[in-house]
């Protein structure tokens, strides 16, 4: 079964997610911003979701993790929880 290692930042608004994405593009550390801004419990670990398998995450996040290019910051991705920025390190 497929698996991937990813991290994300979850925030309440699309504008906040877009601002954080720009800050990451400008060189700020993803994990530091996740600890400071993410509303997900994974934020305490720098946004680290660990190893995930298809179907473990909500569909929109799953689509990014298993279909989008690796190592890029994707998003904002809207779900019922808010807006996500997602980065995938590897997938098998």
Structural domains of the chain, count: 1
**Residue 3 CA: distances (Å) to CA of 21, 39, 42, 64, 73:** 25, 24, 18, 13, 18
- pLDDT digit string, tens, across residues 24-58: 999 999 999 999 999 999 999 999 999 999 999 99
Task: Quote the domain boundaries for residue 33.
Answer: 4-91
- 64-91, pLDDT tens digit by residue? 999 999 999 999 999 999 999 999 999 9
pLDDT the model gives residue 1: 82
Tell me the average pLDDT across 3-17.
98
Q: What is the DSSP letter of 69?
A: P
Which CATH number goes with the domain that contains 8? 3.10.50.40
Output the pTM of the full model.
0.95
Q: In the chain, pLDDT over 70 holds for what percent of residues?
A: 100
């Amino acid at each position: 079964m497929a698996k991937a290692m990813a991290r994300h930042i979850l925030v309440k608004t699309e504008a906040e997610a877009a601002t954080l994405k720009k800050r990451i593009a400008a060189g700020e550390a993803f994990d530091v911003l996740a600890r400071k801004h993410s509303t997900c419990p994974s934020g305490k670990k720098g946004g680290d979701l660990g190893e995930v398998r298809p179907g473990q995450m909500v569909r929109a996040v799953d689509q990014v993790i298993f279909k989008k290019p690796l190592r890029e910051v994707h998003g904002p991705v809207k779900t019922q929880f808010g807006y996500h920025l997602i980065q995938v390190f590897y997938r098998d």
